[in-house]
Structure 1
Amino acid sequence: MTRVVELHVTCPDEDTAASLARAALKARLAACANISGPVRSLFHWQGRIEEEGEVVLALKTRRGCVADLVELIRTRHPYDLPAITWTGVEAEPDTAAWIRDETGG
């Protein structure tokens, strides 16, 4: 198995998530994007507990793309503070090779 990165960010709607996904794919910062939801998010924001309906955008990439991918999302995302997280995950070798190939690695 080989390690790759799965990055997640919540978005206000599917159109926003799809726009971010297309931008990441076009820039070759991700090999694949998955949009799921709707989800119900509860979170602390400016001293209150907020509750919103959102969708989750998951992007499969490699470590070397994370900083640029985060920057792309931050500059295009409509939220003041998009909650961007990522995790190193195991992938079978062919999938990891595909992710590397599609992201210029």
Structure 2
Amino acid sequence: MTGIWQVSTATENREQAVALAESAVMARLAAGAQIVGPVISVFWHQGRYGTSEEWQLLFKTRADRYAELEAHLLSHHPWDKPEVVALPLIAGAPDCLRWVERTTEANPAV
């Protein structure tokens, strides 16, 4: 394990995705965010089957910053109960992993 996690969520449109990504990165809760879209989601929600077009966000953060990032995403997300999930990265390019670690420090020197 690297101590770095990839966190994902989705929004209804590109503008919402960019705003959410910018707020998390500016707060240094994530080193960066990638926005992918549109993607098609197929799901059951509130007892109904559905499909929708969404914009997926992928954040890179340290494991010890996850709770803060999750709280930020939940409080700034345009949806009432968005999906926010995280996966630990088991490997990665050392320079990339160090960048995530340095960038998400609570009081960065950069």
TM-score under structure 1 length normalisation: 0.93
Higher strand share: 1
Amino acid at match of 2:36: S
- What are the ranges of 5 or more consecutive residues in structure 1 without an aligned counterpart? none
Structure 2 counterparts to residues 7-86 of structure 1, below 5 A: 7-86=7-86
Encode CA deviations 1:45-86: one digit per residue, 9 max, x unaligned: 111112110010000111011111111111111112111111
Deviation at 1:3, TM superposition (A): 4.1
Deviation at 1:2, TM superposition (A): 3.2
Q: Secondary structure at the match of 1:83?
A: coil
- What are the ranges of 5 or more consecutive residues in structure 2 without an aligned counterpart? none
Distance in 2 between residues matched to 1:30 and 1:53, nearest whole Å: 25
Distance in 2 between residues matched to 1:2 and 1:94, nearest whole Å: 12
Amino acid at match of 1:37: G
**Across the two proteins, how many residue pairs are aligned to each other?**
105
Q: Secondary structure at the match of 1:16?
A: helix
Cα 1:3/1:80, change in 2 over 3 Å: same
Distance in 1 between residues matched to 2:47 and 2:57, nearest whole Å: 26
RMSD of aligned Cα (Å)? 1.4
Distance in 2 between residues matched to 1:104 and 1:36, nearest whole Å: 26
Distance in 1 between residues matched to 2:75 and 2:4, nearest whole Å: 24
Amino acid at match of 1:95: C
Distance in 2 between residues matched to 1:57 and 1:87, nearest whole Å: 13
Aligned counterpart, 1:101: 102
The list of structure 1 runs, each at least 4 consecutive aligned residues, that deviate by more than 4 angstroms after superposition, is: none
